[in-house]
Structure 1
Amino acid sequence: MTTRPVRIGVQIQPQHATYEKIRDTAVELEELGVDILFNWDHFYPLSGEPDGLHFESWTMLASLAELTTRVELGALVNCNSYRNANLQADMARTIDHISAKGGTGRFIFGTGSGWFERDYDEYGYDFGTVGTRLDALARDLPIIEDRWGKLNPAPTRKIPVLIGGGGEKKTLRSVATHADIWHSFSDPATLERKLGILAEHGAAVGRDVSEIEISTEIGKRSVADVEAQYDMGATLFTVGISGPDYDYSALTDWLAWRDSKNA
């Protein structure tokens, strides 16, 4: 069992709600005591009315960085295909500074290879294949990290890199090489298997994968399943909520569970 503290993140899905509702929800969640606020990087809703209300990820994160004072924040996850790698690095550094407020930044660079074909088609990006998108992510991560070393001013801290996805050959290789946090939607049995594969990639690239924080989606999982994931080393647990109402009534119990683990 890990000694890393348990954290609870909430993904405020930027769909079917006004920006005012999203803003107010973010402020309320920080006051409630969540550790991280996430959104997602898409251009259209992923559920419900396909052409419903929706807002862009990065500009929203910059606003939330100004609105909040304590929570970390980022996308779960950024789509690498939508922006030049050097631009992503600069945007991340800028939000890092916006969120710092005279101290250390709170931005998490969550990223992945992309998958939602409508985004690509409507906004004019080349969808390619799963393989080409994963290859592009592997190519761009070193560029992003290199750009962080060149920017003036530099980031306020080593910006944590969160990689989302469970692909065993390419994604987990990138996780072993670059990630501070790995996020997946794995059930306990799948998580156990993929952690073994991640360890193999870590050995291949010379990385101690115990350095990587393990993140997983709570969703509708039972407490027993979440406990099993915790026993395997997962410490970041995320809850997704959608507009228009953003019901997070179940969150109080999960925050109490977090506090019991960290006591």
Structure 2
Amino acid sequence: MSSRDFPLRIGVQLQPQQAPEYKLIRDAVRRAEDTGVDVAFNWDHFFPLYGDPDGAHFECWTMLGAWAEQTSNVEIGALVTCNSYRNPELLADMARTVDHISDGRLILGIGSGWFERDYDEYGYEFGTAGSRLDDLGRALPRIADRLGKLNPKPTRDIPVLIGGGGEKKTLRHVAEHADIWHYFVDEEAYRRKSAILDEHCAAVGRDPATIEHSAAVEARGGSIDAALREAVALRDAGVTLITVGVGGPDYDLSTLDAVCRWRDAN
């Protein structure tokens, strides 16, 4: 595993589910920015992933446009966008637009997709895990190409975050296209996946030290001390972007506050 020289950063994933009114999410992202978080993420689904499966839920990218106006300092993005839900050229244009609205604070998080209910109810072809990963591999160069053609161009080279840990295809896509690699993983599995990513980087001629490593700790039902121990273990293993997942409707940010204070002490 290669040494990486990235600052320790903290993200929050404000999961846009079970909140019956958008103002609860708007308030949460304001509170998160006041807490001192570095990145605010949502996610790209159409139905809740836990709790009431038919509970309240809001759409990802329209929300990011609102966050771009509402926030001032934090980077924003999806953890992650589902590649299957939008034409790659359209997604590039959406990303460029949110990049401009936010004055250059967008992270383009993307993955191959997995939540079958989204596909079935919104009319997308689910395919197989392999076919969805192949689609992602074809989409990433198209997104990059369209970003280069848009007028006006993005305000910066929009960082691409790829989520997932598939060892044959996903990590190869990370090696070829990503600035940030995110995976929901424990320390032991992370170390193994990271070594495999380094192998893919060697195969494509990429310095693995140029890829920021990202992982998540969860606030749901767990103690703050447990989340802090997990954050320490991930940092010691090489993760420099640690994101706290927070679900609605209450959006309790006490774990996020503790993790941000731990960052500041380190």
Q: Name which of structure 1's ranges 91-100 and 17-26 shifts more when overlaid on structure 2.
A: 17-26
- Cα distance in 2 for partners of 1:54, 1:223 equals 29
Is the Cα–Cα contact under 8 Å of residues 5 and 209 in structure 2 kept in the other structure? no
The alpha carbon displacement at 1:242 in A equals: 0.9
Structure 2 residue 229 is the aligned partner of structure 1 residue 227:
no
Q: Could you say which residue in structure 2 is the equivalent of 1:241?
A: 246
Question: Matched residues in 1 for 2:94 and 2:9: separation?
Answer: 25
Q: Within 5 Å, which residues of 2 pair with 1:25-174?
A: 25-100=28-103, 105-174=104-173
Residue 259 of structure 2 is aligned to residue 257 of structure 1 = no
CA drift of 1:204 comes to 0.4
3-state SS in 2 of match to 1:216: strand
TM-score (normalised: structure 2): 0.94
* Letter matched to residue 226 of structure 1: A
How far off is 1:227 after superposition? 2.1
| 4+ aligned runs moved over 6 Å, structure 1 | none
User: 1:137 is paired with a residue of what secondary structure?
Assistant: helix
- Matched to 2:110, the amino acid is T
Secondary structure at the residue paired with 2:254? coil
Name the structure 2 match of 1:194.
193
| d(CA) in 1 for partners of 2:230, 2:118 | 33
Deviation for aligned residue 1:232: 2.4
Instruction: Measure the CA separation in 2 of the matches of 1:252 and 1:14.
Output: 20
Secondary structure (helix, strand or coil) at the match of 1:218 reads strand
SS of alignment partner, residue 250 of structure 1: helix
Deviations along 1:67-117, one digit per CA (max 9) or x if unpaired, are 0110000000000000000000000000000001xxxx1000000000000
C-alpha displacement of 1:212:
0.5
Aligned to 2:204: 205
Q: 2:241 is aligned with what amino acid? A: L
Tell me if structure 1 keeps the 8 A contact 2:75–2:106: yes
Q: What amino acid is the match of 2:127?
A: G
CA distance in 2, matches of 1:48, 1:223: 25
1:252 Cα shift?
A: 1.9
For residues 135-191 of structure 1, the C-alpha deviation after alignment (integer angstroms, 9 at most, x for no partner) is: 000000000001111000000000000000000000000000000000001111111
How many residue pairs get aligned? The number is: 257
CA positional deviation for 1:231:
2.0
* 2:26 counterpart letter in structure 1: R
Report what 1:6 is aligned to: 8
Deviation at 1:229, TM superposition (A): 1.9
For the aligned residue pairs, the C-alpha RMSD in angstroms reads 1.1
> CA separation in 1, counterparts of 2:80 and 2:254?
24
Q: Name the amino acid aligned to 2:61.
A: W
Whether contact under 8 Å (2:39, 2:75) holds in the other structure is yes
CA distance in 1, matches of 2:136, 2:23: 33
Q: CA deviation at 1:121?
A: 0.3
Question: Which letter does structure 2 place at the counterpart of 1:236?
Answer: L
In structure 2, distance between residues paired with 1:61 and 1:223: 28
The structural deviation recorded for 1:226 is 2.6
Unmatched runs of 5 consecutive residues or more in structure 1: none
**Structure 1: distance between partners of 2:30 and 2:237:** 32
When structure 1 is superposed on structure 2, of 3-12 and 161-170 the one drifting more is 3-12
Distance 1:68 1:226 in 2: 25
